Structure 1
Amino acid sequence: MELRHLESFAVLAEELHFGRAAARLQVSQSALSQQLQRLEAALGEQLVIRTSREVMLTDAGTELLEPALRVLAAADRAETAIRDLRSGLSGRLRVGSLGAGLNGPLPEVLTRFREAMPASIVELHHSGESADLERSLITGEFDAIIVRRLVDHRLITSRLIAQESFVVFLPTDHLLSTRDGVRLVDLAEENFVFWRRHLGTTFHDSIVDACRASGFEPSVTAYGDTLEAQLALVAAGYGVSLQAATNASVARDGVVMIPVLDGDVHFRLWMAYLETNRTPAMRALLRSAAPLLDALNDT
């Protein structure tokens, strides 16, 4: 059974006239008859009754028409999908990211990507741990990942995509809450609300390292497994919470946000991808991220 035979049958079933059907298909009536005969031979059933006055579908022809139309529509969609893929308008992009990537550079990058490949399908997955994302990239589950560290693997390219400062969330009645900014050393005597380390090793260690570089070990008195949980603890007076500046717009009653002014303290985000990945979607993603990547990696 060939698609062109199904197409000829479907057009004939619609027109119920060999002359009009042949004209639509741009073939001769004899060629149309031959295609119909081949389809009937393949199925072992007569599909059409033709008299001198009319053309009618048999019961088998009536039964075939609906699935034939579905097959033809699916074939047309498949052809369109391949054509769009070849032209770079469609494809599938799978990205894994830490929460900081979702709040930071990814929306800007994906906006450009959508404009470049409007018919593409994007799968965006969140994970709290860079190591999990790295494993998924290596096994091919993701096309690209956003993580907090360079990926040490011979097949993977890592490029800096964001560099952001700290902010600190304080209770509204805190002595520092009216300041325009603080330095980390100003927080040396504070109690801190933290993530458990296994929920984000690199992020956790970045905060601890920054505090140590400012001359103190953070005193952790409470843990929250999400930003919302941590801010609830801050509002309740359990301590202060250091976060990346991408979270500066998060608002909660009982909490204020103050920028951390230490200019040499940053969170970094890296985009990592397999160097061998040359799909149209991956190439479009790299073009979409180029303004951020070029600005940070040329310095």
Structure 2
Amino acid sequence: MQISHLREMIVLAQNHSFTQTAIQLYTTQSAISKHISALEQDLGVALFLRDRNNVELTDAGSIFIEYAQRVVNDYNEGIVALNRFNAGINRNITVGYLAGAVSAFLPEVVSRFMESHSCINLEFHTQEIDGTFSGLEDDSLDMVITTEYIKFPTTIYHVEKLYRDHIAVIVPKDHRLASRESVHLKDLIGEKIIFSSPSFMIREAPIIENLIAPIRDKITLVQSANDIWSLFMLISSGRYVTVLFDHVRNYSDFDQRFAFLRLEEAPKHFDVVAVWKRRAESDVMMDLVTLLRDVISERGVL
């Protein structure tokens, strides 16, 4: 049974003529007759009484046509709703993001986006990596901007790459290592390395701890920072360094206040990505990501 056959049934019931119905629907009389016969065969009842001069609904047809009309109306409304969804009309889009990864770019992105999508309400929430994952899973977030160090299953999620990221050793500008572009784990021996507390950056902490495991007994490990600002305040004291994702340099003026050194033992790079569930894909998602890529490129972030 096809929606188009139900539409033809409805128009035929109004016109009482295969010829007029064919003209109205820009098809042939034989095609209409074939489709109505197929519909009757699917249902197991005769829907119309036919003679040379007229076509009338049978009693069964009179009963069924009310339901056929509802099905067609619901289908039409569904198509309209999907078109509005894809166009982003009267929609709320909730975005969770790693502040260090994109907060420097978002004001410009939002300004440009609203010029062509004024009917969309954008709602933003800063998240850590754990929050971006859980927000997508429970549908509290429509899109997240996060790191793909931990992979998203592409059968479920649509993943768009924004720029490359890596693991960095972050030190004050006057630190003994600050002039280097990269360091090895052995260069950190004897340092006090500060990490977040167990309740902050839940997914990040195990990643970093695994990386520094070979020198764990040759450093002092401190876990006392409850947020990113506290972490960098403690580094500013000159007593600590940290190992973290390079993207945090995009916070405020962190790039001017600290040196970000590539850790050679870490993966060479991974990606900062925009992610959403495939079942929620729409043109407006790609419009937002395209603008984000444009602004990131204009700022010289690769």
Matched residue, 2:136: 137
Matched residue, 2:262: 260
**TM-fit CA distance, 1:127:** 1.9
**TM-fit CA distance, 1:275:** 0.8
The CA RMSD measured in Å over matched residues stands at: 3.7
Matched residue, 1:200: 201
Matched residue, 2:248: 247
- Amino acid corresponding to residue 99 of structure 1 in structure 2: A
Matched residue, 1:123: 123
For residues 86 and 157 of structure 1, do their structure 2 counterparts lie closer, same or farther at Cα, with a shift above 3 Å needed?
closer
- Larger deviation, residues 140-149 vs 120-129: 140-149
Cα distance in structure 1, aligned partners of 2:85 and 2:273? 28
Matched residue, 1:146: 145
Contact 1:92 1:281 in 2 (8 A): no
Contact 1:117 1:284 in 2 (8 A): no
- Amino acid corresponding to residue 92 of structure 2 in structure 1: R
Count of residues paired in the alignment: 205
Cα distance in structure 2, aligned partners of 1:176 and 1:152? 38
**TM-fit CA distance, 1:115:** 4.6
Cα distance in structure 2, aligned partners of 1:282 and 1:182? 36
For residues 115 and 166 of structure 1, do their structure 2 counterparts lie closer, same or farther at Cα, with a shift above 3 Å needed?
farther
Contact 1:222 1:238 in 2 (8 A): no
Question: Any gaps of 5 or more consecutive residues in structure 1?
Answer: 1-82, 293-299
Is 1:210 paired with 2:206? no
Matched residue, 1:93: 93
Q: Which digits, 9 at most, give the CA deviation of each residue in 1:63-120, with x for residues without a partner?
A: xxxxxxxxxxxxxxxxxxxx99786576322111233333477567656644542442
- Amino acid corresponding to residue 262 of structure 2 in structure 1: V
Matched residue, 1:226: 227
Cα distance in structure 1, aligned partners of 2:183 and 2:141? 38
Q: Which digits, 9 at most, give the CA deviation of each residue in 1:165-220, with x for residues without a partner?
A: 3443334553223x1423132223311011124321332233223334xx423631
Contact 2:167 2:243 in 1 (8 A): yes
Contact 2:87 2:284 in 1 (8 A): no
- Amino acid corresponding to residue 195 of structure 1 in structure 2: S
Cα distance in structure 1, aligned partners of 2:161 and 2:210? 20
- Amino acid corresponding to residue 143 of structure 1 in structure 2: D
Q: Which digits, 9 at most, give the CA deviation of each residue in 1:226-251, with x for residues without a partner?
A: 22211221233431122333333654
For residues 223 and 141 of structure 1, do their structure 2 counterparts lie closer, same or farther at Cα, with a shift above 3 Å needed?
same
Cα distance in structure 1, aligned partners of 2:159 and 2:84? 29
Cα distance in structure 2, aligned partners of 1:112 and 1:85? 20
Cα distance in structure 1, aligned partners of 2:110 and 2:151? 22
Is 1:275 paired with 2:278? yes
Cα distance in structure 2, aligned partners of 1:257 and 1:274? 36
Q: Which digits, 9 at most, give the CA deviation of each residue in 1:238-289, with x for residues without a partner?
A: 311223333336547x963243263844454333211111445335335546
Cα distance in structure 2, aligned partners of 1:282 and 1:146? 12
Cα distance in structure 1, aligned partners of 2:221 and 2:243? 12
Cα distance in structure 2, aligned partners of 1:279 and 1:229? 38
Contact 1:95 1:123 in 2 (8 A): yes
For residues 264 and 109 of structure 1, do their structure 2 counterparts lie closer, same or farther at Cα, with a shift above 3 Å needed?
farther
Residue 238 of structure 1 aligns to a residue whose secondary structure is coil
Matched residue, 2:47: none
**TM-fit CA distance, 1:146:** 2.3
Residue 209 of structure 1 aligns to a residue whose secondary structure is helix
After TM superposition, the score normalised by the length of structure 2 is 0.54
Residue 260 of structure 1 aligns to a residue whose secondary structure is strand
